[in-house]
Amino acid sequence: MEGHVFANLVVAALLVGSAALAFVIRRSELWREAAVQLARRRPIALAVVALYLVIAVLDSVSWVGGGEAGEGGDVLALHQPRSLVDRMFPLDFDEKSYSAPLASAEFYGGDPLEHPGLHLLGTDILGRDVLHVMLDGTRIALLVGGFTSLIVIPLALLVGVSAGYFGKRIDDAAFFVMSTLSSIPSILLLITLIMAMGRGPVQVCIAMGVTSWVGFCRIVRGETFKLRELDYVQAARALGVSDLKLIWRHILPNLMHLVVITFVLTFSGLVLSEAILSYLGIGIDGSWGQMIDQARDELARDPIIWWNLAAASAALFALILAVNFVGDAVRDVLDPRTLRERE
């Protein structure tokens, strides 16, 4: 299956999944109340995150065809899949090299541009429109945060609940694995994994997943210990309810608020880590981190080239800031103490 078709299917699945999730939330009073509270506290931050989400989704839906090549145009480009975001820009939008935002001439040499005055944020060393590259980076950032969490959360839940619930040997084994992984400083572990697995977006996500699941797993394990000792859980066990059913009905639902909080709070850490990996040369192509990495020697030039760095930094900062604000609010809203008060 072609790459872009796969991505389209994933987006479709995500949309269906989100709709299902929204339905489930509406039916539960606790979660509905929490969602309302969240929207009330941080409307702006939520809107910003939503905006990023929309851009990322738009950039993930792509197909071949449509559009016209300009004169002497790039016929090859016509047969590449182009996403909705790609289609917001003319097909043959590249210049030869650097140009300042809204400029009509190239930065070095002063030759006139193909599309004068149309590059809102200028062009980079390859002549690509910086705004376009920046928007593409949105998809990667959200991919990093979302896909990695998709790995981390189920894995941490599986290991944490098993260790906490069944204890003894399983717990010892889990504890050994967690200790080993967490005794290596995360950056070193990341580098090691990527060097061993190879450099590619999937490998980067897996590596980040392996590095970050331990923290959450510990929390899950601790909570499961506590939950297992609760009176009604003990009563259910005495009545002969099977372990699986107990976990599904009593333990997992009580861990959900932790899942949400952890997901939002680690999201920004993951995106920032990817930026650092890009600097080290082992990140994901086209990410904001890579843009920032390229910007390093652009600043050393005279006159300086600032628009590449500014665009990537602003995009990164705005997303992280918004997620941090939302994360704080989510934690406050889902804090078990406030949950209890509302009962």
Contacts with other proteins: how many residues (CB under 8 A)?
Answer: 42
d(CA 219, CA 178): 12
Binding other proteins (rule: CB under 8 A), the pick from 46, 118, 272, 339 is 272
Binding mask 188-227 for other proteins (x = CB under 8 A): xx-xxx-xxx------------------------------
- Those residues whose C-beta lies under 8 Å from the C-beta of residue 321, and which sit 6 or more positions away, are 45
Binding mask 121-160 for other proteins (x = CB under 8 A): ----------------------------------------
The phi-psi region of residue 131 (left if phi > 0; otherwise alpha if psi is between -120 and 50; otherwise beta) is alpha
- Least Cβ distance, residue 174 to other proteins (angstroms): 13
CA dihedral 324, 329, 333, 335 (to 10 degrees): 50
Piece of 28-36, 160-168, 232-240, 310-318 that binds other proteins (CB under 8 A) = 310-318
- Least Cβ distance, residue 119 to other proteins (angstroms): 23
d(CA 314, CA 302): 22
- Least Cβ distance, residue 185 to other proteins (angstroms): 4
Q: At 237, phi and psi to the nearest 5?
A: -65, -40
Q: Does 313 bind other proteins (CB under 8 A)?
A: yes
Complex with other proteins: residue 15 or 304, whichever CB lies closer:
304
- Least Cβ distance, residue 268 to other proteins (angstroms): 7
d(CA 40, CA 52): 20
Complex with other proteins: residue 29 or 172, whichever CB lies closer:
172
- Rounded to the nearest 10 degrees, what angle do helices 29-41 and 307-334 cross at? 140
Q: At 321, phi and psi to the nearest 5?
A: -60, -50
Binding other proteins (rule: CB under 8 A), the pick from 125, 184, 202, 235 is 184
End-to-end CA distance of the chain: 50
The answer to whether 82 touches 62, Cβ cutoff 8 Å, is: yes
Q: Does 13 bind other proteins (CB under 8 A)?
A: no
d(CA 76, CA 80): 7
- Least Cβ distance, residue 284 to other proteins (angstroms): 15
> Which residue matches tokens 């945060």?
145
* Residues of the shown chain interacting with other proteins in the complex, contacts defined by CB under 8 A: 176-177, 179-181, 183-189, 191-193, 195-197, 268, 272, 275-276, 279-282, 289, 292-293, 295-296, 299-300, 309, 313, 316-317, 320-321, 324-325, 328
